[in-house]
Every structure is written in C-alpha cells, then in structure tokens.
Structure 1
Amino acid sequence: MAVAAAIGAVFTLDGAAQDEAEGKPLIVPANTVGEQRTSVLYGKADARHTLSVVMDPRCAPCGRMEAALGRTMRELADKGAYRIEYRLATGEDEARGGEGSRRAVNALGAAANEGPEKFVRYLGAVLAGRSDRGEWDGDAPASADTLLGIAGRVEGLRTPAFDKAVRESTYLPWVKKVSAAHRQDGGGALPRVALDGSPLVVLDGDGTPVSREEFVRLVRGGKGG
C-alpha cells in the first residue's frame, strides 16, 4: 500500500495531458496516496481500515454530507478506527459547464500540500458554499479570489506558496489525473462513501444526511468499529 508523501513530487506528462494542462508540469501534492497519488490521506497511514470519501466541490449533497458528518468521520479517524482517503471529482464542470470544480480541486491540492488538517478544514469551508446554496452559486469557485477568500478562514493556510498555487493553477495537471481516476471508477452520483470497499448509505432517499449516531452504527456494523 502506498503511504503519504512527505513532500510534493514532480513528474512529466504525456503529450495529451500536457496540452490539456497548458504545458504545466505534473506536480503532485504532499499527503496523497494510491498508485497514482490521486487521493488525499487523513488519519494514520497504517490504520487497518480505509474510509473512502468521494466528493465534488460544486456538489450540493456533498456539502450537506460534509456539514453533517465531516467532523464525525474525522473524529473516528483520529481514534484509529480507519484512515480516510478523500477522492475528489470534477463532474459538475462537465455536467453544468464552467471550471469551478477543477479550480477548487487545484486549490484543495494546494491545501493538501500544506497538511492534512488544513486540507480537511479547507474542504469543509469550500463545500459550505454548496450545502445550502447560501454562499455562492454557479461557477464562483472558478475565481481565485473566491477560493483565496475562503482559505482565509483556515488558520495558517494562506502561505505565499498556497496563494501562488491557487492563482497559477499549479496543480491543474494533477487535477486532471484525479478526474480521470474518478471516471475510471465509474463516476456516479456523489457523495460516495465506502468502508474497505463496501458502500455506506450516508444520504436518505431525499438527500438528507443520516445522523451522526447512524453513521457510527454503520461503521461499527462494518469493519471499522
């Protein structure tokens, strides 16, 4: 199993990917895992179980789930019940047009490079704009100013390196790898949560997140109790 990298890494891209990413080098954020390093790790790398959480920054149900269950998910990870592998998607851009998801995932990559705790706090702040549609609409996260403004709520995140990566879309080639990995997994409705590969139903039929107590029960009913 791959473990989180302590620092970011630089790779070369094939021609097609270079064209899509405007010739930028592929820079992979630190604290990423997996064969292609397309997941962001939170928790102990050697935890026996893995909670996979797939979300799109422009996805309103993802925002509702994060608001209701994000803290509980991470508390269980902090206790060693599992490690969390966050997998990001950009399907909302393809479905609705624009590039807000891609730009937001780029910024999330920059946050991951600063550290797992900053990543999860920034993820929650970005998704808060979709939880009730009260903060921003449409393709607003395509704006670097919007993404940097949200980052200002996360203590210590606005470093010169972070700001530069957001404004220059440093991690855009990595975003394309992340998006491709999601498509290869079959895409589908989000959010998607699984414990050791077994899906967990975290939203009811009308899209309302289950309670924290129900989520804990689901985890304990699996292998991560």
Structure 2
Amino acid sequence: MRRRFAMVGAVVVVAAVIGAVVALRGAAEDEAEGRPLVVPANTVGEQRTSVLYGKADARHTLSVVVDPRCGPCARTEAALGRTMRELAEKGAYRIEYRLATVEDDARGGEGSRKAVNALGAAADEGPEKFVRYLGAVLAGRSGREEWDGDALASADTLLGIAGRVDGLRTPAFDKAVRELTYLPWGKKVAAAHNQDGAEDALPAVTLDGSVVTVLGEDGVPVSPAEFVRQVRGGKG
C-alpha cells in the first residue's frame, strides 16, 4: 500500500513539473498573441527571420543558429565569434544569424524567448550593436559563467546586459525590451527553426548549406585557425 501511494505521489510530482513547464511556455506564447507583428530592421530571408551581418551581396552565406540560453553556443561565440565576423567584414561571406528558443522547451522558463525579443530590438538598432549584444547575452553573468536558471526572462537583466554595449540603450530599445515589441517576431523565428530541424544540436553553423564543425567531440570549440581552414576550403 505504501509503495502504491509512493508511486502515485511520484506521478503527481512529475505531472506537476511538466504542467509548470507547459504553463510557462504557454505564458510566453500567450503574450505574443494579439500583438502586432513588428519585424526588426537588418533582417533577411523569406520571412525575415534571420539577422544579417556583413555585405548583403556576398557570394557565400554562413548560417549561425544559436539559442541565448545555450552553453555550447556561448563557448563557441567566445572562441570563434570574432573570427567569424572578421571574415564577414572582409567579404568572405555574409552571416545570417538565426535565433532559437529550444532551451525554454528543454529547461523550462521563457528566458530564450524574452532574450530573442531583446535581440530583435538590438537588430533594429544596427548589425554591429546586434552582434555585440548577442555576445554579451551569451557571455553570462561575468563572461565566464552561464546565467543562473531563467535569469534572461527578466527585462531588468536584459537591459543591464545592454548597458555593456555602447549606444544600445536608446529609449526605443528600452521600450521594446519592456513592452515585448518583437515577441511575435520571435515566435516566427522559433517556428522557422523548428521547421528547418529542431533536432539539430546547437550551435549549428553551415556555409552555403554545408556543415562547419565548430565544436569537437569533447565539446571544446575548434581553434580559429581550424575554422578558417574549413570555410576557406569550402568556398570558391
């Protein structure tokens, strides 16, 4: 009898946890309902769900898919972000950043969705500010540690991070972060990623559709030299 009650209790606890995760995800999605779709500037693609960095007429495209709460994405940005952008600035390719929110579904909370909204506001301010803000968001509390729990769900946290990027804290940016102006756009961004393969491990980097390896089997990012070798060898 005790064992039966224990099993029932365990089932109830698991159901409650699952229900809480679903409720949090639903809350973020509900917030997007009824809001007008506002698309940030400096976005590209059929549905404008990617943020462009580099020369729009570059012959090649580097696609970089990241989630703001993703630890491996943070490590890759720290090790390779500057190299990726330097090559884009030289015209080797253009970068299309695609934002995912899979960590909210996997870990619960709504930090990824709220961060994508803020990143949309940063994109609207300019590509350079977007990439600097993305790097700061991924860097975590000190630039060495990941964010605790669902810290990125807080507008105050997201605005605090924005203070590290010169010129980003404009009235328009602050308003968009607090009022969730780009949340419907973020929902489209997440849907576009799900359609294209939510099973992919993040970060996912491709050059003209061909996979570029950015993390070794041990989870450590490849060297900048190895990244350059891959992209230089893969384009004409």
* Conserved 8 A contact 2:136-2:143: no
Would the alpha carbon gap of residues 99 and 141 (structure 1) be closer, same or farther in structure 2, given more than 3 Å must change?
same
Paired positions, count: 207
Shift of residue 136 of structure 1?
2.4
Secondary structure class of the residue paired with 2:225: helix
Question: In the alignment, which of 134, 140, 147 is matched to residue 158 of structure 2?
Answer: 147
Partner residue of 1:70? Answer: 81
Structure with a larger share of its residues in helix: 2
TM-score, L = length of structure 1: 0.89
Partner residue of 1:32? Answer: 43
Would the alpha carbon gap of residues 81 and 179 (structure 1) be closer, same or farther in structure 2, given more than 3 Å must change?
same
CA-based RMSD: 1.5
Question: In the alignment, which of 94, 97, 105 is matched to residue 94 of structure 1?
Answer: 105
CA deviations 1:69-96 (Å, max 9, x no partner) are 0000000000000000000000000011
TM-score, L = length of structure 2: 0.85
Partner residue of 2:167? Answer: 156
Shift of residue 23 of structure 1?
1.0
Partner residue of 1:51? Answer: 62
Q: Distance in 2 between matches of 1:144 and 1:20?
A: 14
In the alignment, structure 1 residue 219 sits paired with structure 2 residue 204: no
* Conserved 8 A contact 1:60-1:133: no
Secondary structure class of the residue paired with 1:185: helix
Stretches of structure 2 lacking an aligned partner (at least 5 in a row): 1-28
Would the alpha carbon gap of residues 186 and 135 (structure 1) be closer, same or farther in structure 2, given more than 3 Å must change?
closer
Letter in structure 1 aligned against 2:102 = G
Larger radius of gyration: 2
Question: In the alignment, which of 158, 176, 192 is matched to residue 204 of structure 2?
Answer: 192
In the alignment, structure 1 residue 136 sits paired with structure 2 residue 150: no
Shift of residue 133 of structure 1?
6.3
